[in-house]
Structure 1
Amino acid sequence: MRDSVKPGREKKRGSHVKLSDVAKRVGVSPITISRALRNPEIVSEELREVILRTVDEMGYIPNLAARALAGRHSGIVGVITPSLHHPCFTGVMMGIEERLRATDLRVQYANTLNDADQEISQFKSFLAQKPAGIILVNAEYYDGLAMLMDAAAFPVAHVADLSQPPETLLVGMSHHVAATAATRFLLSKGYKRIGFIGGISDIRSRRSRAGHEEAMRQAGLGNPSLMHGVDGSTSIGLGRRLFTELLERMPDLDAILAQNDDLALGALIECNERGIKVPDDFGICGFNDLEFAQFTSPSLTTVHVPRHDLGRRAADMLLRAIREEPPEEQRVDLGFSIIERGSTRSMPKQ
């Protein structure tokens, strides 16, 4: 019995569908097909639709290894990040994929969990694949990566704190400036004993902590006992723990700035357990403006970080570099905004 094959999907016996097979069906040269798949915008919309439809009908799958041997790169964009598991990265990832979706480039992710050796190892793994480029998201150990980046035959774009080394193809914000502004916002509401809870293992948390300390010191309210952090990943549970420990040390605390919304939510849950009324008796400000922040009770005041735009702009920078087009900007500060919600209020003047 002959195998049934859908119309337009003739079987190729003995080999997979080749680029030349697609070109023959469309009636153009293989190089035209290759260029159209790599850069769809260079062919007319009508021809592009015919090519894409034929590729789909015939089940053609580009041979990335062969492409790497024959051309400058494999068509892969490597994305190296310390936290694939954290919701903060989701927005960045969506921005990257939105920008690259209409191209012939494909994204591969690598997770380092803030490990210096893994940052170097993952970068070397992508080197072996002859990628079109790499996006480093919140890399920590640039000293170890410097020689690899200098030797790479492809561009590297960065999503990073603006205090970090890259001078080109960098998109980011200043966590120090953002935390300073958030602390000053809390001070403007009448809070005076403002604590900070967060991690201490990455540069963003350290910059945020320093920004908080600076704002409190300039207000004449600096106190090292207001700071509490641990080395490791943050979570809602850790937020409860850090807030509890800080409150035991500073029982007259009247507000906190949390390094991220996870920790802020943990503090809010602990306040509810203890009967501490938020915002009547206590103020909480988070960081990142994750989706759940607007749906907690009360909703969380937080620092909005444009995570989607960070990813999209970094991918656009990289794409321009891959195509050898001049960048619109070499370093982009996307900034932040403070979103005031229900977890803070103006305190009565004492």
Structure 2
Amino acid sequence: MSPITISRALRNPEIVSEDLREVILRTVEEMGYIPNLAARALAGRHNGVVGVITPALHHHGFAGLMIGIEDRFRASEFTVQYSNTLHHVDGEAGQLKSLLTQKPAGVIIAGAESYRDLLPLIENAACPIAHITDLSQEPQTLVVGLDHHAAGAEPTRFLLSRGYSRIGFMGRGTDIRSRRRKEGYEAAMREAGRFDPDLVIGENEGNSSGLGRELFARLLQRVPDVDAVFAQSDDLALGVLIECAVRGIRVPEDVGICGFNDLEFSAFTQPTLTTVHIPRYDIGYRVADMLLRAIRDEPPGEDKVDCGFSIIPRGSTR
């Protein structure tokens, strides 16, 4: 077979007949052939890799995003490479520079803290760059995300509508998405005439059920009449639920609990956890589709997509 036929089978398998593709791929496997991405980048526009920069590859909440991204690229000629900033804003620009030196086909920035140092790199990049953001951030094209201010305000209003009034806010405030949700919570509580700064706890802490127990114990010492908690992760909310059980506090009668992320276990706790569902798979799939269209010079459909969120009422609230 000619080199061009083999190249097409490896880079654009959908344009080669199924019988021919099977022969080529079987032979490639038998020979143990591995494409040279550096040579591919020199010979063409890119190396066939899509880079994904994320602050939270280690967090199980990112799994839905990752599966969505992987599913969209799986049938394409591109492979995906991940880079984890661990919420270090100073590393974002450096990691983008490192990816761009490799001539990627495209890049997804999945949750940047700041675009101050990123925008000059994005404007001069030789490949398209797509974004998963809070919709208040700078990028205006190739963007998929949600309004995290609303994702903090609406669950707070939901708790108020269920008859709770001393509603605590629990969670980290070190990244822009958490800070925006905290601002939304504060706005909703002020709107209701219920805001008290003592109800906000653990702004710079991480996320775990053990920490949830600790923070709720501290919150009870500070505000004994707290009657609900809006936790910034289901892990923290689970910790609150456990601490309530240990102390004999009735949920949802004495204390209501709302989590965030709608992780799998939240539907199986006792009582089940009210939470905020984020369509992570859909966000990942749509941003990957948007980037793939840009790489192929196809119309994007939409430049900026709000995937929204939904509140899932369960047994931990009235």
After TM superposition, list the pairs within 5 Å mapping 1:320-335 onto structure 2: 320-335=293-308
Provide Cα deviations, 1:108-164, integer angstroms capped at 9, x if missing partner: 111111112211221121122111111111110210111111121011111111111
Question: CA offset at residue 40 of structure 1?
Answer: 2.4
Indicate yes or no: 2:271 matched with 1:298.
Answer: yes
What is the distance in 1 between the residues matched to 2:287 and 2:24? 29
Greater mean deviation of Cα atoms: 32-41 or 295-304: 32-41
After TM superposition, list the pairs within 5 Å mapping 1:114-125 onto structure 2: 114-125=87-98
After TM superposition, list the pairs within 5 Å mapping 1:1-350 onto structure 2: 27=1, 29-345=2-318
Computing the radius of gyration from Cα coordinates, the structure with the larger value is 1
In structure 1, the residue corresponding to 2:50 is in which secondary structure?
Answer: strand
**What letter corresponds to residue 51 of structure 1 in structure 2?**
I
Q: Is the 8 A contact 1:37 1:103 kept in 2?
A: no
What is the distance in 1 between the residues matched to 2:79 and 2:216? 42
**What letter corresponds to residue 249 of structure 1 in structure 2?**
R
What is the distance in 1 between the residues matched to 2:210 and 2:201? 15
What stretches of structure 1 of length at least 5 have no aligned partner? 1-26, 346-350
In structure 1, the residue corresponding to 2:57 is in which secondary structure?
Answer: coil
Question: CA offset at residue 198 of structure 1?
Answer: 1.1
In structure 1, the residue corresponding to 2:4 is in which secondary structure?
Answer: helix
Q: Is the 8 A contact 2:110 2:133 kept in 1?
A: yes
Q: Is the 8 A contact 1:81 1:136 kept in 2?
A: yes
In structure 2, the residue corresponding to 1:288 is in which secondary structure?
Answer: coil
**What letter corresponds to residue 46 of structure 2 in structure 1?**
H
**What letter corresponds to residue 312 of structure 2 in structure 1?**
I
In structure 1, the residue corresponding to 2:259 is in which secondary structure?
Answer: strand
What is the distance in 2 between the residues matched to 1:95 and 1:33? 29
**What letter corresponds to residue 239 of structure 2 in structure 1?**
G
Greater mean deviation of Cα atoms: 238-247 or 260-269: 238-247
Q: Give structure 1 regions of 4+ aligned residues with deviation exceeding 6 angstroms.
A: none
Question: CA offset at residue 232 of structure 1?
Answer: 4.3
Structure 1's 230 and 221: CA in aligned 2 closer, same or farther, altered over 3 A? closer
How does the TM-score come out when normalised to structure 1? 0.87
**What letter corresponds to residue 176 of structure 1 in structure 2?**
H
Q: Is the 8 A contact 2:48 2:77 kept in 1?
A: yes
Q: Is the 8 A contact 2:252 2:316 kept in 1?
A: yes
What is the distance in 2 between the residues matched to 1:253 and 1:102? 51
Please report the RMSD computed on the Cα atoms of aligned residues, expressed in angstroms. Answer: 1.4
How does the TM-score come out when normalised to structure 2? 0.96
Greater mean deviation of Cα atoms: 88-97 or 116-125: 116-125
**What letter corresponds to residue 222 of structure 1 in structure 2?**
F
